[in-house]
Chains A and B, each alone.
Chain A
């Protein structure tokens, strides 16, 4: 086949991308050895002393470790649940609106926060929930005590979850909204003839119609169970809420880059990457098996 002589061109086309991949994705992977060494920046990676699993043993003894894993799993699990349910409910409600201009208008407004950075949203949230900000003013108007929201360790994880769900529900609803439009309208018409109420429609037509989408999104979100959202937590947290708000990524950042405990931080990061790899692979496998979803 004539195409065979194009192979050299294919290699040439792949070259820039693969160089980029090798330099910034593959070579850093070799840095994992730091987790097994006592890394000394002065002598470099290769000459630093090999200490095997010492870093991992130390990690298991640290009280911090249990804390950050629990915080991470708690926050990300709550986020997964919130990010599955709220966009779904929103899409179902929006589906009931008959004036299409209103529908489009609301949709347009509602996925705006998704495109704003956490730096921007954090500064806004910290101001809105500040001690003298609008939310506390509202509480005062009802005769309640003002709350120092982002300094409360009991409230912090919930603030993180709610603000993340708020930021993303509009955008996440897009998939549900387009799934809803693919339900055959004649199903609704024949149901109406049979005397179905709106709740009947919801139960027997709408939900079954988009069940595969729900299952798919659920399966895919499993892979993120250790990603509690570094950008968001980093911008919203402070030492007062570390006990419930410190997640794996923020801890690795502080220990590794600020406190220069490179080996320990690399060990923890490696553990997270390994578990994450297993989870993501599992989630893609489940998605392809139960929802016919393939990425390539």
Chain B
């Protein structure tokens, strides 16, 4: 690309890069700050002296966490949840997408099933009916509430349906001539070809389940059953009282054990921070994969 190299153009370049770097810094700094607080002396953190570097560097809060059974309980609950949810979502999404990707002449009721799915994506009964329903299934306090109560991931199914539809028809026809049935075609031909979109969709599902806190709050009646985010939420985020004055607000935020909380928050971030760089190429590609192509 041909660019002019005038002075004003160079200045514009520099300003642009500065703005972008500020943007990038703003995204890293809060995470760095949390790390610094977690490695600081408790009193220094409470006094607000920690800025860009730990003060009184020590690993105390992390040592405290090692003995904290509740924290690890919740961590393990989240891990179980993510594994179960990832697996079940994968299988069900793939199974749903195959029949729905068929044309009407091969599967006459296909449009009916699709419209039901779309309707459910656009409309829901609201929080209370959902809660009452899940409770009536007896799933309160069960890990299956966390895994299943979010419902079928309709958007993901649609993405995979579109991807399957864009695969060349010849593949399927060749397999049919060789006597293959739908299960073989799905699992031995379509799924291996759909790995990019399936990987993206599964990754998003996993990250969402890891980050989810509300179902844990509402569907788990006992604290031991809380997934990690719910546990942290109860601990760290200010809990509302029925009437609060500004002084009470100030006092509550000052009383919390900031370094310990920061350490727990940081550990909760680690899985996402680790997976993220390796798999971000999937995120970018995957977003455009599930689109309808003419």
A residues with a Cβ closer than 8 A to B are: 1-4, 6-7, 9-11, 13-14, 16-18, 20-21, 23-32, 34, 45, 90, 93-94, 96-98, 102, 105-106, 108-113, 115-128, 130-134, 136-137, 148, 151, 166, 169-170, 174-175, 178, 185, 188-189, 192-193, 197-198, 230-231, 234-240, 249, 252-253, 256-257, 262, 265-266, 269-270, 272-274, 276-277, 280-281, 293-296
Binds A, one of B55-63, B65-73, B127-135, B191-199: B127-135
Most buried by B among A18, A29, A105, A123: A123
In the complex, which of the residues A94, A110, A126 contacts B237, with contact meaning CB atoms closer than 8 Å? A126
Q: Is the CB of B233 within 8 A of A119?
A: yes
19 residue pairs A–B, Cβ–Cβ below 8 Å: A7-B107, A13-B95, A24-B130, A25-B124, A27-B133, A28-B129, A28-B132, A110-B24, A120-B268, A121-B30, A124-B30, A132-B47, A189-B2, A236-B237, A239-B242, A257-B128, A277-B122, A295-B292, A296-B162
Tell me the complex Cα distance, A270–B30, Å. Answer: 38
Count of inter-chain pairs, beta carbons less than 8 A: 303
Please determine whether A30 and B27 come into contact, CB atoms closer than 8 angstroms.
Answer: no
- B258 nearest CB across to chain A (Å): 7
The residues of B that contact A174 with a CB separation of less than 8 Å are 283-284, 287
**Chain B interface size range:** 35 or more
Q: Judging by beta carbons under 8 Å apart, are A124 and B250 in contact?
A: no
Write out the residue numbers on chain A whose beta carbons fall within 8 Å of the beta carbon of B21. 106
Do residues B128 and A119 form an inter-chain contact, with CB atoms below 8 A?
no
Contacts of B161 in A (CB 8 A): 296
- Mostly helix, strand, loop or mixed at chain A's interface? helix
Given contacts A118-B211, A269-B127, 18 further A-B contacts (CB under 8 A): A9-B183, A20-B148, A23-B148, A24-B130, A28-B133, A30-B125, A96-B12, A112-B31, A115-B272, A117-B211, A120-B229, A125-B30, A127-B33, A128-B33, A137-B51, A269-B126, A295-B118, A296-B292
Q: Please report the C-alpha to C-alpha distance between residue A168 and residue B103 in the assembled complex, in whole angstroms.
A: 37
Inside 8 A of B158's CB, which chain A residues have their CB?
Answer: 295-296
Contact B23 A28 (CB under 8 A): no
Output the nearest chain B residue to A31 by Cβ-Cβ distance. B129
How far apart sit A185 and B2, CA to CA, in the bound complex (Å)? 10
Contact B37 A127 (CB under 8 A): yes
* A17 and B95 contacting across the interface, CB-CB below 8 Å: yes
Partner of A270, one of B126, B261, B292: B126
Distance, CA A253 to CA B102, complexed state (A):
41
> Do residues A170 and B27 form an inter-chain contact, with CB atoms below 8 A?
yes
Q: Is the CB of B27 within 8 A of A112?
A: yes
- B64 at the A/B interface (Cβ < 8 Å)? no
By the criterion CB–CB under 8 Å, are A116 and B211 in contact?
yes
In the complex, the answer to whether B16 meets A96 with C-beta atoms within 8 Å is yes
Pick the residue among A3, A110, A113, A121 that contacts B106 (CB under 8 A).
Answer: A3
> Is B170 an interface residue when CB atoms closer than 8 A count as contact?
no
Q: Closest residue of chain B to A27, judged by CB?
A: B133
